[in-house]
Amino acid sequence: MAQLRFIGWVIVLAFVSAEVSAFAKLIDRPLGEKVGFTLNKISESLPDNEAKTFTNEASETEAVSVNDELAIVSKLLDRVPLIDGHNDLPHVIRLLAESRLATFNLTDLTDKKPWNSDPTSHTDIVRLRKGKVGAQFWVAYTNCKTQHIDSPQKALEQIDLIHRLIDLYSDTFQLATTAQEIEDVFGTGKIASLIGVEGGHALGNSLSLLRIFYRLGVRYMTLTHSCPTPWADNSQLDNPGEEPIHDGLSGFGEMIVQEMNRLGMMVDISHVSVATMEDVLNVSQAPVIFSHSGAFSVCNHTRNVPDHVLRRLANNGGIIMVVFYNEFLSCGRSANINDVIRHIEHIRNLIGVDHIGLGGDFNGVNRVPTDLEDVSKYPNIFVELLRLGWSETDLEKLAGTNMLRIMRRVEQVKQELSFMEPIEEWIPKDDLRPEHKLCLTDYV
């Protein structure tokens, strides 16, 4: 009789779970709340003595299911590198440790001051390993206050910091600059470490510095940050009441994109205005990326990408790497993992799975979703998508094979443009406003 009762309960559980799952999605309950809600509703309909037994046995069944899903995801991320497009750990190291790597141990920062109390501290080696991260773009960021003053110096200091970090923890990290190097490093069990520069103001309006960045290992540059440059408009100029400066890219901005194509450096158009997105897609011969953005149709923040641009991105062969910042996911309210899933699903339904990746922006934001609190939580995304019916092949694309494909195409375009000479133009003086010239000399 006990066996028959349990079988009956399992049938009831299967039916009610399907109904409650749909309801839970509507009310945006996190995973743990969904399961608890289902079990509670079923147990309430049973006699007290059977309800307790049912809840215990059903909880064990659910735990087995979750463990099975995590095992599938773990194996998947063992064979395909999980490539995250944007992590600001170098910036946090600059702020909390003045870039002195000898003052802390990156192995485990969860109980170390001041790291454990800083809302932007999401990364250490233990958590990277738990999160199955296979490759990481570490970001050399310098804020907009440095523009037209010492932004090139600050950017170079951050690139140096990334190299020193990789060297100091060489048992864990290894520099990678190509798709093949990512796969090779991943095959050794290390985390492939790549470099991106966030904010074109870091160039100091110099194509020479762009070439130097590439020689130092930089493989993408975000064209703007929270400020426009003298050659590109940023996303904040799309806010009501703001006026565009260039209505996208200037002529010199187009040259920067062309030189990035020639070098084999990916063009990152997170943070830029919609007009700049459009201009880049008109000019670039290589796939472009959004290293950490969301879908505007899901959250109408100017940092997110409108549907018509997403369609053009697919035609370009590029990728949008979905961000984990509450402000861009849910437009300011508290967010949970379902908000990330909503952005991913919208993009997939609109342009297909071949153009999606993950760019958490960990260590660069102070509010992240429930169930994605730090870099250890990436597997949760894959478990949720597995439950929604995603195939393992599609999950592999999201994890890393999409980005590997794009990097290979960018490298191929570099070869196709090998006949080109370096672009040697200087930014036209008329493009610089008087306030831009305050810290410039007349040296020619």
pLDDT (tens digit, 9 = 90+) per residue, 388-422? 999 999 999 999 999 999 999 999 999 999 999 99
Query: What pTM was computed for the model?
Result: 0.86
Determine if the peptide bond prior to 114 is cis (ω within 30°). Answer: yes
- Confirm whether 361 is a catalytic residue: yes
Residue 80 DSSP class: S
**In the structure encoding, which two tokens stand for residue 382, read together?**
């894959």
Question: Does residue 17 share a domain with residue 113?
Answer: no
Residue 386 CA to residue 150 CA, distance in Å, equals 47
Answer yes or no: is 168 within a domain.
yes
Three-class DSSP category at 77: helix
Catalytic residue among 361, 371, 384, 396: 361
Question: Does residue 313 share a domain with residue 225?
Answer: yes
Residue 56: domain span: 2-68
Question: Does residue 30 share a domain with residue 179?
Answer: no
Question: Does residue 10 share a domain with residue 56?
Answer: yes
* Domains identified in the chain, total number: 2
Question: Does residue 207 share a domain with residue 349?
Answer: yes
Catalytic residue among 88, 233, 279, 396: 88
Catalytic residue among 91, 201, 292, 346: 292
- Confirm whether 201 is a catalytic residue: no
Residue 198 CA to residue 155 CA, distance in Å, equals 9
Cα dihedral across residues 371, 376, 382, 387: positive or negative = negative
- Confirm whether 425 is a catalytic residue: no
Across the chain, what does the average pLDDT equal?
90
Distances in whole angstroms, Cα of residue 268 to Cα of each of 62, 205, 223, 409: 41, 17, 6, 15
Asked if 249 and 283 touch (Cβ cutoff 8 Å), the reply is: yes
Give the model's confidence band at 219: pLDDT under 50 very low, under 70 low, under 90 confident, else very high.
very high
Question: Does residue 8 share a domain with residue 125?
Answer: no
pLDDT, tens digit (0-9, with 9 covering 90-100), for 344-370: 999 999 999 999 999 999 999 999 999
- Confirm whether 88 is a catalytic residue: yes
Three-class DSSP category at 4: helix
Q: Percent of the chain scored above 90 by pLDDT?
A: 81
Answer yes or no: is 435 within a domain.
no
Cα dihedral across residues 81, 86, 90, 95: positive or negative = negative
Query: For residue 208, what is the domain's CATH number?
Result: 3.20.20.140
Query: What does the pLDDT read at residue 45?
Result: 46
pLDDT, tens digit (0-9, with 9 covering 90-100), for 285-298: 999 999 999 999 99
Is pLDDT above 90 for 260? Answer: yes
Among the candidates 68, 88, 116, a domain finishes at 68
Distance from the Cα of residue 15 to its chain's centroid? 37
**In the structure encoding, which two tokens stand for residue 367, read together?**
């509010």
- Confirm whether 355 is a catalytic residue: no
Residues with Cβ within 8 Å of residue 175, at least 6 apart in sequence: 163, 166, 181, 193, 194, 195, 217
**In the structure encoding, which two tokens stand for residue 257, read together?**
């994109």
Is pLDDT above 70 for 58? Answer: no
Asked if 273 and 244 touch (Cβ cutoff 8 Å), the reply is: yes
Catalytic residue among 91, 201, 246, 271: 271
Is pLDDT above 50 for 329? Answer: yes
Answer yes or no: is 295 within a domain.
yes
Among the candidates 22, 45, 68, a domain finishes at 68
Is pLDDT above 60 for 127? Answer: yes
Answer yes or no: is 288 within a domain.
yes
pLDDT, tens digit (0-9, with 9 covering 90-100), for 61-104: 455 577 899 999 999 999 999 999 999 999 999 999 999 999 99
Q: What angle do CA 61, 66, 71 make, to 5 degrees?
A: 125
Question: Does residue 104 share a domain with residue 32?
Answer: no
Query: What does the pLDDT read at residue 40?
Result: 45
Residue 140 CA to residue 115 CA, distance in Å, equals 19
Query: What does the pLDDT read at residue 14?
Result: 45
Question: Does residue 318 share a domain with residue 385?
Answer: yes
Give the model's confidence band at 440: pLDDT under 50 very low, under 70 low, under 90 confident, else very high.
confident
pLDDT, tens digit (0-9, with 9 covering 90-100), for 190-199: 999 999 999 9
Question: Does residue 343 share a domain with residue 259?
Answer: yes
Catalytic residue among 91, 225, 246, 301: 225
- Confirm whether 225 is a catalytic residue: yes
pLDDT, tens digit (0-9, with 9 covering 90-100), for 163-202: 999 999 999 999 999 999 999 999 999 999 999 999 999 9
pLDDT, tens digit (0-9, with 9 covering 90-100), for 19-42: 434 434 433 444 444 444 333 443
Answer yes or no: is 74 within a domain.
no
Answer yes or no: is 238 within a domain.
yes
Catalytic residue among 84, 86, 148, 254: 86
Catalytic residue among 84, 124, 198, 374: 198
Among the candidates 47, 68, 89, a domain finishes at 68
pLDDT, tens digit (0-9, with 9 covering 90-100), for 269-280: 999 999 999 999
Question: Does residue 132 share a domain with residue 25?
Answer: no
Question: Does residue 261 share a domain with residue 217?
Answer: yes
Answer yes or no: is 28 within a domain.
yes
Give the model's confidence band at 56: pLDDT under 50 very low, under 70 low, under 90 confident, else very high.
low
- Confirm whether 431 is a catalytic residue: no
Query: What does the pLDDT read at residue 441?
Result: 83
Question: Does residue 33 share a domain with residue 94?
Answer: no
Answer yes or no: is 426 within a domain.
no
